[in-house]
Structure 1
């Protein structure tokens, strides 16, 4: 498919090729070099990989909407695979109404109450892993910790929590094209979607966590019971995978940067800045789409109404014109303005919870682990929207 304007650079790369998804940095670098926006012939869409353009597109919900889908599917002309999210895949004013409920449920006070329990779980987990010595950090740490503390915080019963990982893979892979990765993920839909729907019902909610706070909006007439269930679903689909991938990437970064881990050990208060740098370096969500809601332009590039734009967040976070020495992992960088959690009205509503989880784990590592050593090759798992490790063999050495 030709670009809408002959002056726009074109590229025949497939960003959803498994080889690209598992080793994406050369693609990110090439995308930024080609210009502010590039036309991807294969899919008939724009792609943006520089920080200024990604920031502009994500910040302007009026010109670049989410309500037509944040993946390749255009909800105006195609049928989505599931009922769209009523927070991620809508725009104001509908988004304002549902976002307010989520923001209240995940208030700073509500998240702060979790700090002590998160830290206790992280300390206990790291103690067990130090005793074990050598293990795979993906299932044993990056998956194990969020699958315990996050569903507890939401108010989800313990049985079958591993299904949350399968559901997350479905949600994020469904944002890509009809490739083998997407088809394999959606093959799980008949089994997994019914389980998720049942866990989001009010009768299944336990305790007084985030889900109970969401359902309180039905009691006061802000939302319907059905809408509350959909918001709980949104929490479960977005609140696990990104944290799992962020934690695994943190261990990967520190295992491959012993001087940075030494700096973290010397000052465990760097746990939060360390996670921000991990997010910038590895971007757990590598790409999301927006759709032009009108004829417009970005950096002088004309964009017709209805155009899909693949915003490559991971490329923007490695933009050397925005981040000096962008390829270097530096936990003292404090990369304010990274777009790993998006930006604007659609910035990740659960990012404070993810940060709380990561701070607990990283501070536990700083206090309890002497060295983190690779114990085998890291294996990246291809995914149409998120970047994550499938396996990360490591060795935790005791503190001397």
Structure 2
């Protein structure tokens, strides 16, 4: 902390008259939290040195500080700081403050990151903001003891204000706010010379993967243009430029409502609340943890921040059932036009309006109407025999020839891919190749963020195949079956679908039909194997298979995330979502919400649902709900009808990594075959 004169520090001698406890009841002791305040080089050194050394020698006799003020230790600390002498004390919140004089370092600071200059010198290092349990006590200390001046204060919420204090010409060196019975450092700010240096800092932070907690913006009071990022220690760091300077002779204290002219999304009263200030969850949907097994993160989000702002992406992650349900119910406020996948919302990958999955009402409804007859409950009844025949043709040789196989790769993935092809009107002979290409398009290497060239090549191969099939089927309509035939005949508002639109719809149906249901089957076997009592119940009563499959979908939802963007400003879960911001609907989290499902993380084949997000909700509810549920139930039935017992090799289980679709894609099982002939009718 800089001051034009050190004479004022002489008051410490009598304010801290008892040499160990301040007149404010603040003990002079070391603290793990350390903030350095610099005194001015223009101090009267002789007087200041005398007062500081005298102060320091008296502090030595105070209890609890001898280890910091013993001569040898004191000398070491003085040398480490590069100063002639210093003294330390604590503010009422326990924050350690160091007062020193006589810098002994030569030359200016050289930034290892290449920052040409920081705005410091006589202005001090920048500023810091503290969350304090007692604002009045803290203000008394910083104003009456340290001699700082109130510049202004900002109202940030009901009963909440931030007090800005200065000790140099800088608008503020310290800011204080009380948000509850906590003492914490909210952020430290450093000022650079121009907007380019702010931009370079933002670029370095982004490349390093630092969580950006508040986007670029400008404060109202100090006019700083800045952004915020989270440090490894958990507090935030602000980098900005253009801070206001104060003329003591003309400045009048004022108050402002709201802290920003524009931007700084993520810097809210909520973020400074006890939960926001202390929250340890650092959620990035594209991080290794989130893409591998995000359930620990999701549990923390549900408990601490169910509508979570991700400043790095200027987007929101919705972890609670209630928040996801609200967004799915409101198509007037939320859109899929920017794309339904995380990479589209977070990384700006291109969205497509060729398929109904990327359309808003009313176009979505018109396109979906063409497909709907193939996916009703009645259609599932009609397809039951075909599904069962495919399942039997795959499972029968597996259990006949082996006692161990991969229930995902050898069974469920094959059945789902072949039936999806049959349903869509794609030659079944090509189904296995298509499902492998689809899997390759969603494969994510460790550390990968976004769609790779290999992913894109696989997706293009699938789309090219389907497009060629559409073109050939237009020329030879006898080849067209299933959904393909209806799409070729479809006319919407007087306009037939293009070849590209038909191919895109087939692609959507092949992905959702051959890469989600099998995850559910694998999850069902996994959870049944972990609970012998429920496993025995399902083997004894195959009628429970449909509920076991549904419960597995709820507990390990294969569609981890789907997305929306806000059409207008709207409140969700008490948080204000701004127009244009993206929202990630964390299905896999919402389906584990204890507020909706009692004991939500427990697998229970006897659980029944009043309402559910297993297949989504609202306008974009999964069109394949009835077919998917039937296929999963049939695959599980045909499995348990053939086995007297099974075990999962948990050491060999593997989850697919991904930001969009994820689940068990390796599920080795050991089976004991029943001793009787099985009827599969």
TM-score (norm 2): 0.54
Bigger strand share: 2
* TM-fit CA distance, 1:143: 0.9
Once the two structures are overlaid, the 10-residue window that deviates more, 162-171 or 136-145, is 162-171
CA distance in 2, matches of 1:379, 1:182: 21
Are positions 1:136 and 2:406 aligned together? Answer: yes
1:95 maps to: 364
Q: Which among 661, 664, 671 is matched to residue 386 of structure 1? A: 661
Are positions 1:122 and 2:384 aligned together? Answer: no
CA distance in 2, matches of 1:138, 1:333: 25
Are positions 1:23 and 2:293 aligned together? Answer: yes
CA contact (8 A) 1:284 1:340 kept: no
Unaligned runs of 5+ residues in structure 2 are: 1-211, 215-264, 676-681
Q: Which among 606, 612, 616 is matched to residue 332 of structure 1? A: 606
* TM-fit CA distance, 1:46: 0.8
Are positions 1:370 and 2:649 aligned together? Answer: no
* TM-fit CA distance, 1:220: 11
* TM-fit CA distance, 1:167: 5.0
- Alignment: residue pair count: 395
Once the two structures are overlaid, the 10-residue window that deviates more, 267-276 or 44-53, is 267-276
After superposition, the C-alpha distances for 1:312-369 in whole angstroms (9 at most, x for unaligned) are 0110100112111111111110234221321101011112211121121111123211
Residue 73 and residue 383 in structure 1: after superposition, are their counterparts in 2 closer, same or farther (change >3 A)? closer
1:294 maps to: 568
Q: Which among 19, 42, 45 is matched to residue 312 of structure 2? A: 42
Residue 196 and residue 258 in structure 1: after superposition, are their counterparts in 2 closer, same or farther (change >3 A)? farther
* TM-fit CA distance, 1:107: 3.5
5 Å-filtered alignment, 1:1-400, equals: 1=212, 2=214, 3-9=265-271, 12-72=282-342, 80=350, 83-131=352-400, 132-169=402-439, 179-180=448-449, 182-183=451-452, 184-201=454-471, 203=473, 206=479, 208-218=481-491, 223-226=496-499, 227-375=501-649, 376-400=651-675
CA contact (8 A) 1:218 1:225 kept: no
CA distance in 2, matches of 1:160, 1:118: 18
SS in 2 for 1:162: helix
SS in 2 for 1:47: strand
* TM-fit CA distance, 1:248: 1.9
* TM-fit CA distance, 1:63: 0.6
Unaligned runs of 5+ residues in structure 1 are: none
How large is the Cα RMSD of the aligned pairs?
Answer: 2.7
Once the two structures are overlaid, the 10-residue window that deviates more, 297-306 or 263-272, is 263-272
CA distance in 2, matches of 1:354, 1:92: 24
* TM-fit CA distance, 1:391: 1.5
CA distance in 2, matches of 1:245, 1:27: 21
* TM-fit CA distance, 1:87: 0.9
CA distance in 1, matches of 2:343, 2:406: 35
Residue 337 and residue 199 in structure 1: after superposition, are their counterparts in 2 closer, same or farther (change >3 A)? farther
CA contact (8 A) 2:367 2:492 kept: no
CA distance in 2, matches of 1:318, 1:120: 34
CA distance in 2, matches of 1:125, 1:336: 35
Which has the greater radius of gyration?
Answer: 2
Residue 274 and residue 200 in structure 1: after superposition, are their counterparts in 2 closer, same or farther (change >3 A)? farther
* TM-fit CA distance, 1:166: 4.8
Higher relative contact order (CA 8 A, sep 6+): 1
* TM-fit CA distance, 1:85: 4.1
CA contact (8 A) 2:525 2:648 kept: no
CA distance in 1, matches of 2:556, 2:610: 15
CA distance in 2, matches of 1:254, 1:42: 39
Bigger helix share: 1
